[in-house]
Amino acid sequence: MPKSNKLNSNSLDSICDVPGIKVGHAQDRVGGTGCTVILPDEDAVCGVDVAGGGPGTRETDALNPVNLIEKIQGLYLSGGSAYGLAGADGVMRWCEENNRGYDVGIGCVPIVPGAVLFDLPVADFHARPDREMGYQACLNATAQETRSGNIGAGTGASVGKVGGMDLAMKGGLGTASLTFNNIVIGAIVAVNCLGDVIDPNTGNIIAGALTEDKSDFVGTMNLYKKMLLESTSPQSKMSNTTIGAIATNAALTKSQATKVSMMAHDGFARVINPIHTLRDGDTIFTLSTGQHEADVSVIGALAAEVMAIAVLRAVRAAESCYGLKGLAS
């Protein structure tokens, strides 16, 4: 698995390498939450796949290939659990002010799908992304955004929570890209998983549930096996969720974008274990700016690869805070 994009010397190595894609973040660092927006310059085809058992989403039904809407104006990723969905109203406001939306004859209705993760126990339970934070993220959007770690939707993210928050580690936001001739595939992800994050090159856990003395990793799968033998249950009853997006300048239909989202979940599975549990709401969107023809199976396979890179980057850039140990400090 490549560690970064080495094929283009001008690469940002972020989802913003996809032409026409801007990313903006806003966050409450004291409250421990934030949001991230992905804004295409032009309306983009979008598909989605929800593989986790506890999702918090909006407008995902609109992205079903059998339904009317073909393109979206913005994409919203956020902390705050279901409360955080309110921030998408700010993205809609920004889109309306910029005459972006589905034409309904008397005006436009912006289509802004989104997904949220559960970060409520990290700092302040009452700190949640709202309309103003979503709007600010749009104002902050740039085609040069490259940051990873404790930012945007990754501000309050944590990983390895099977033993409870006291033994968890800091998660974060990550982004990466791959370029092949004219085709660019980028990923962005907020990593807030129940399971451990694993380096696929070594098979070793790099972030996850810690032992009681916090000197080593307990190994979530080892703990799961022990629970079966002892007929016990996980200590943590909280929800988790890893949410992200793929963007590409490959021309995709809505059905094909949905397939790419499904395949991109394999990137989660390569570096997070366990994944897609009932307490994870794992969701991946795929945006297509539709400029170059490419085989959908190839795009999906590479989407999984770049998503895995983005997940690893998210936890490696995460700094210690809120009492959680991060790999970057």
Name which of 242, 265, 264 is nearest 252 in CA terms. Answer: 264
Q: Cβ contacts of residue 109 below 8 Å, gap of 6+?
A: 101, 102
pLDDT at position 238 is: 66
DSSP strands (E only) in 41-107:
44-50, 57-58, 71-72, 75-78, 102-103
pLDDT (tens digit, 0 to 9) for every residue of the chain, 329 residues total? 544 444 455 799 999 999 999 999 999 999 999 999 999 999 999 999 999 888 999 999 999 999 999 999 999 999 999 999 999 999 999 999 999 999 999 999 999 999 999 999 999 999 999 999 999 999 999 999 999 999 999 999 999 998 889 999 999 999 999 999 999 999 999 999 999 999 999 999 999 999 999 999 999 998 888 888 887 776 556 678 999 999 999 999 999 999 999 999 999 999 999 999 888 999 999 999 988 999 999 999 999 999 999 999 999 999 999 999 999 98
Enumerate domains of the chain plus CATH numbers. 15-316 (3.60.70.12)
Q: Which two tokens stand for residue 289?
A: 């700016």
Q: 67 vs 47, 56, 64, 285, CA distance in Å? A: 11, 20, 6, 16
| Identity of the residue numbered 207 | A
Residue 152 φ/ψ region, left for φ over 0, alpha for ψ in the -120 to 50 degree band, beta for the rest: left
| Identity of the residue numbered 56 | G
pLDDT at position 132 is: 98
pLDDT at position 4 is: 47
pLDDT at position 2 is: 46
What b/e readout covers 227-259, taking b as 16+ CB neighbours within 10 angstroms? eeeeeeebbbebbbbbbbbbbbbbbbebebbbb
d(CA 304, CA 49): 13
d(CA 27, CA 20): 24
d(CA 194, CA 171): 11
| pTM of the model as a whole | 0.94
